[in-house]
Amino acid sequence: MSEVKKVATREGYGSALIALGKEHENLIVLDADLAAATKTGVFQKAFPERHINCGIAEANMAGIAAGLSTLGYVPFISSFAMFAAGRAFEQIRNSIGYPHLNVKIGASHAGISVGEDGASHQCNEDIALMRTIPGMVVINPSDVIEAEAAVKAVYEYEGPVYLRFGRLAVPVINDRPDYKFEMGKGVELRDGKDCTIIATGLCVCGALEAAERLAADGIDAQVINIHTIKPLDNELVIAAAKKTGRIFTVEEHSIIGGLGAAVIECLSENCPTKVTRIGINDVYGESGPAQELLHKYKLDADGIYERVAAEMKER
């Protein structure tokens, strides 16, 4: 196998902010003492006057961004998912969501692939939290190309958006000339007739690899990348359910409230279908190298393959 290029999605956040910053004077970036990690540090170098370090005070940062947005600025607030969606949940809900202000939340270090820092920093609940806020868009890009495209797309969109990025360098899978990011639209990456694997974020790559292995076993799996979890591409999800009749969801997030839950909500009302949620099974993570944790928690290609193969055999 040839060398696969790997880049963390947070890198796409930083590079897209710079590109946008060059074009748009009203773009402003806020951070909470994590500029090197969230990759807003590169923006800070390019536009020091438009990078506001709020110190370790995420709740205040959310409010500052709300105030700035009322003046026509487009603030991107940046922290780890745990402290953005977690610590500042209520500020995002009340100061940004309720008045539907044009604030973008760039949350890095989501999921267990944070790795060695362990459970306190591994946010597996952010999609669930953000998804419940009325009017909030929730995006979880699958690679750096999608991350960069998503950041650029949400700048053009008026309203609050939660963007989820990872710490871990992950394979680039969207490097093709016709790649286009459309907010709210899922992407079919592999056709298949026996079952559908709906994945998001870094799990999309693992899902694709799992599908190839399943094919060797005679299981033809469709693979869909859902980068926008809210609003969910109901049409594509329902079409997939109708086509294959068996759905697996894969996410580096709790099986409660995330992609799997969103898919179930959609299908139970529109096209009742058996859905298996592959994700973090209502437990905290732990310290360890990211790849080892993804393997242990069965969210890598091996884990996805084994689970799908086992359940498809039971049919």
Partner 1 sequence: MNKLELQKMAVEVRKGILEGVHSAKAGHPGGSLSAADIFTYLYFEEMNVDPKNPSDPNRDRFVLSKGHTAPGLYAALANRGFFPVEDLLTLRHTGSYLQGHPDMKNIPGVDMSSGSLGQGLSAACGMALGAKLSKQDFRVYALCGDGEIQEGQIWEAAMFAGFRKLDNLCVIVDNNNLQIDGRIDEVCSPYPIDKKFESFNFHAINIDGNDFDQIKAAFDEAKATKGMPTVIIAHTVKGKGVSFMENNVGWHGKAPNDEEFAIAMEDIRKAGEALCQK
The CA distance from 113 to 163, in Å, is 16
Q: Is 22 exposed, middle or buried (0-12, 13-18, 19+ CB in 10 A)?
A: exposed
Closest CA to 5 of 141, 116, 145: 145
> Whole-angstrom Cα distance, residue 16 to residue 226?
20
Report the first-to-last Cα separation within the chain, whole angstroms. 33
For position 67 contacting partner 1 by CB under 8 A, the verdict is yes
Please give the Cα distance from 171 to 298 (Å, whole number).
18
The correct pick among 2, 3, 23, 49 for binding partner 1 (CB under 8 A) is 49
Contact characters 98-137, partner 1, x per CB under 8 A = xxx-------------------------------------
Indicate if 314 belongs to the active site. no
Interaction of residue 91 with partner 1, rule CB under 8 A: yes
Strand partners, 170: 7
Q: How far is residue 143's CA from residue 230's CA, in Å, rounded to a whole number? A: 18
* Under rule CB under 8 A, residue 59 binds partner 1: yes
Instruction: Report the amino acid identity of residue 293.
Output: L
- When the beta carbons of 88 and 207 are compared against partner 1, the nearer one is 88
Q: How far is the CB of 94 from partner 1 (least distance, A)?
A: 4
CB of 184 to partner 1, least distance (A): 23
Residue 231 C-beta: closest distance to partner 1, Å: 20
Does 47 bind partner 1 (CB under 8 A)? Our answer is: no
Q: Which is nearer to partner 1, 28 or 34 (CB)?
A: 28
- Closest of 154, 31, 118 to residue 83, by C-alpha: 31
Q: Which is nearer to partner 1, 98 or 213 (CB)?
A: 98
- Residue whose entry in the numeric block shows the structure tokens 């799997």: 260
- Is there binding between residue 39 and partner 1 (CB under 8 A)? no
Residue 66 as a binder of partner 1 (CB under 8 A): the answer is: yes
Q: DSSP letter for 123, please.
A: B
**Which residues within the stretch 202-261 sit at the binding site for partner 1 (CB under 8 A)?**
none
Q: Are 171 and 178 in contact (CB under 8 A)?
A: no
Q: Kindly state whether residue 94 participates in binding partner 1, applying the rule CB under 8 A.
A: yes
Work out whether 54 is an interface residue with partner 1 (CB under 8 A): yes
The residue from 58, 146, 148, 209 that is catalytic is: 58
Query: Does the protein bind partner 1 through residue 90 (CB under 8 A)?
Result: yes
Place of tokens 């992609």: 259
Residues in the chain: 315
Interface residue with partner 1 among 22, 55, 156, 157 (CB under 8 A) is 55
Q: Specify the residue for token string 């991350």.
A: 147
Complex with partner 1: residue 18 or 57, whichever CB lies closer: 57
Closest approach of partner 1 to the CB of residue 55, in Å: 7
Helix axes 203-216, 301-313, angle to 10 degrees: 50
48 contacts partner 1 (rule: CB under 8 A): no
Give the footprint of partner 1 on this chain (CB under 8 A).
28, 49-50, 52, 54-55, 57, 59-73, 75, 90-91, 94-95, 98-100
Catalytic residues: 58
